[in-house]
């Protein structure tokens, strides 16, 4: 892709002289990292690496003329033919068949894989992991945490249990069998049968497997520009998130760098993505600023889908398409009842999981969680979905948590604390329309005020804003 002069100028303003940039999510996932990974992947980076998670992530990539949701391939994959290197790093858990399906889709649309590599230390998600995950963790109705059912948790359990199968073992059938025998003791499957089934996938993937640790460091030492593409979100981190309501990887800056074969000290700029002025969470677990509180949480635990909500609230639709500005949605957003306001905001912003289709829970922007994220991922943030806030007459910014009669600005990740706090809000009038505005000083002064308060409370620095889904609907400050 050839980028125009103004894109180059604004990217330079955003990344300055950084050589290694990470794009991570500072909330509970689904903040729109993809737009910025795509933007930097296509127009700036030489090397694009994903280092954590697996097919539990969902990322929309333009393939040919169509937008496709990919779960594994890095965002720069369509740039392979232009010489960009794409890597699935050592921290990833990869389901072979899913990866090949995505690769086939890219190839059908003229994409290439000449500079694509898979770490020999990334590990494999098998179908027995997926079955186990679906039975144990997927259904919130049955006491699960609402996992995405992609086998990620069980595969990481095997990694730490020293039973995991590294991609490199696909080249060594004896070692592969030995490792699978260890897994078979836990999941009870026929090792020969699994080896026979994965054989054709392995044959196709082996040419891409290599020591990407050395490759990444060689690229870095050669001065190549490297983009680390985060997955999930900080508050879902197994180390820093609302444990046990978390994913099984560490999507923080540290985890993202480690999963790519680097360390946080190698990263010159970490951009933390923040949905603003509302945020979302999918799956079970605490969410202090949830609009509609426990009623919304219980309703979302029944995992309504988009179509069910459209039916339930009488919104006309065709296929999965509907008018997000339908008067019935506007009515919901302005409802005096927070539960309905939450449903309205979800429909307006189309907050349904890219991987599972589940309704995302919706809450107000939380500066306490934002301050926590700044302490871990650093000060630079990008605000996304700011255009959605244009439709809100009133914005609530959580500026503290009330607990035991006092207010704290310190986030603690344990659910007992998070379920026990009462969010304290500062209320602002709405800021009006922002679409079509292309420079920071042109934004409404009311939005400037809300952003300044968020920066003050969290200690962060807003580097850019997204005011619409298109790449050029981005304001670099
Ligand atoms: P798992 O990662 O499938 O094990 O799911 C664990 C928790 O993380 C569940 O609450 C999921 O809904 C959540 N989760 C996993 N991946 C994503 C994501 O990409 N976006 C948002 N939530 C996610």
Report the C-alpha gap between 283 and 149 in whole angstroms.
Answer: 11
Q: Span 308-315, mean pLDDT? A: 95
Helix (H) or strand (E) holding 226: strand 226-229
Q: Residue 127's closest CA among 198, 232, 53?
A: 198
* Whole-number pLDDT of residue 354: 72
Report pLDDT digits (tens) over 256-290: 999 999 999 999 999 999 999 999 999 999 999 99
The best mutation among 23, 24, 29, 248 to test binding of ligand 1, ranked by most ligand atoms within 8 Å of the C-beta, falls on 29
CA nearest ligand 1 atom 12, residue: 283
Does 116 score more than 90 pLDDT? Answer: yes
Report pLDDT digits (tens) over 156-169: 999 999 999 999 99
Report residue 387's pLDDT band, with 50, 70 and 90 as the boundaries.
very high
Q: What is the CA 352 to chain-centroid distance, rounded?
A: 13
Q: Span 216-231, mean pLDDT? A: 98
Report the C-alpha gap between 8 and 56 in whole angstroms.
Answer: 32
Q: Is 30 among the catalytic positions?
A: yes
* Whole-number pLDDT of residue 428: 98
Report residue 39's pLDDT band, with 50, 70 and 90 as the boundaries.
confident
The best mutation among 50, 236, 280 to test binding of ligand 1, ranked by most ligand atoms within 8 Å of the C-beta, falls on 236
Task: Provide residues with CB under 6 Å of ligand 1.
Answer: 29-30, 56-58, 145-148, 150, 152-153, 232, 236, 247-248, 282-283
Give me the count of residues in the chain: 477
* Whole-number pLDDT of residue 356: 74
* Percent of the chain topping pLDDT 90: 86
Average predicted confidence (pLDDT) for the chain: 94
Report residue 1's pLDDT band, with 50, 70 and 90 as the boundaries.
very low
* Whole-number pLDDT of residue 6: 60
Strand 474-476 to strand 461-466: parallel, antiparallel, or no bridges (unpaired)? antiparallel
Report the C-alpha gap between 67 and 61 in whole angstroms.
Answer: 6
What single-letter DSSP state applies at residue 285?
S
CA nearest ligand 1 atom 2, residue: 247
Does 2 score more than 70 pLDDT? Answer: no
Q: What is the CA 37 to chain-centroid distance, rounded?
A: 11
Q: Span 3-29, mean pLDDT? A: 85
Q: For the whole model, what pTM was predicted?
A: 0.95
* Whole-number pLDDT of residue 7: 63
Among the listed residues 38, 59, 128, 129, the single catalytic one is: 59
CA nearest ligand 1 atom 10, residue: 283
* Whole-number pLDDT of residue 3: 47
Q: Span 80-108, mean pLDDT? A: 97
């Amino acid at each position: 892709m050839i980028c125009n002069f103004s894109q180059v100028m604004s990217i330079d303003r955003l990344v300055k002289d950084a050589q290694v940039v990470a794009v991570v999510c500072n909330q509970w996932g689904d903040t729109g990292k993809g737009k910025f990974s795509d933007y930097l992947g296509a127009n700036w980076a030489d090397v694009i690496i994903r280092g954590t998670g697996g097919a539990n992530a969902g990322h929309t990539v333009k393939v040919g003329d169509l937008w496709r949701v990919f779960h594994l391939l890095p965002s720069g994959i369509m740039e392979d033919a232009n010489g960009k290197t794409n890597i699935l790093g050592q921290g990833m858990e990869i389901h072979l068949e899913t990866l090949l399906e995505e690769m086939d889709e890219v190839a059908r649309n003229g994409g290439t894989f000449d500079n694509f590599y898979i770490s020999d230390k990334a590990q494999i998600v098998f179908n027995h992991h997926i079955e186990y995950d679906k039975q144990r963790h997927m259904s919130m109705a049955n006491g699960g945490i609402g996992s995405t059912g992609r086998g990620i948790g069980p595969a990481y359990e095997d990694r730490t249990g020293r039973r995991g199968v590294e991609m490199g073992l696909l080249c060594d059938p004896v070692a592969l069998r030995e490792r699978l025998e260890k897994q078979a003791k836990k999941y009870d499957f026929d090792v020969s049968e699994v080896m026979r089934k994965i054989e054709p996938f392995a044959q196709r993937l082996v040419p891409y497997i290599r020591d990407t640790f050395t490759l990444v460091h060689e690229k870095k030492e050669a001065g190549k520009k490297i983009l680390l593409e985060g997955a999930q979100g900080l508050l879902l981190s197994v180390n820093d998130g609302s444990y046990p309501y978390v994913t099984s990887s560490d999507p923080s800056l540290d985890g993202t760098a480690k999963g790519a074969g680097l360390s946080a000290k190698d990263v010159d700029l970490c951009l933390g993505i923040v949905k603003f002025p509302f945020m979302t969470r999918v799956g079970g677990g605490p969410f202090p600023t949830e609009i509609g509180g426990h009623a919304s949480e219980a309703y979302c635990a029944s995992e309504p889908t988009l179509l069910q909500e459209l039916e339930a609230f009488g919104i006309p639709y065709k296929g999965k398409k509907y008018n997000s500005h339908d008067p019935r949605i506007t009515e919901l957003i302005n409802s005096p009842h927070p539960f309905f306001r939450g449903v309205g905001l979800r429909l307006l912003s189309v907050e349904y999981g890219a991987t599972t289709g589940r309704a995302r829970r919706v809450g107000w922007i939380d500066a306490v969680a934002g301050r926590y994220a700044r302490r871990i991922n650093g000060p630079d943030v990008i605000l996304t979905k700011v255009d959605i806030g244009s439709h809100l007459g009133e914005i609530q910014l959580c500026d503290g948590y009330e607990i035991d009669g006092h207010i704290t600005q310190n986030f603690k990740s344990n659910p007992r604390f998070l379920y026990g706090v009462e969010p304290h809000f500062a209320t602002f009038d709405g800021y009006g329309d922002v679409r079509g505005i292309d420079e920071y000083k042109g934004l409404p002064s009311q939005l400037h005020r809300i952003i300044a308060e968020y920066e003050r409370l969290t200690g962060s620095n807003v580097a850019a804003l997204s005011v619409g889904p298109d790449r050029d609907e981005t304001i670099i400050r």
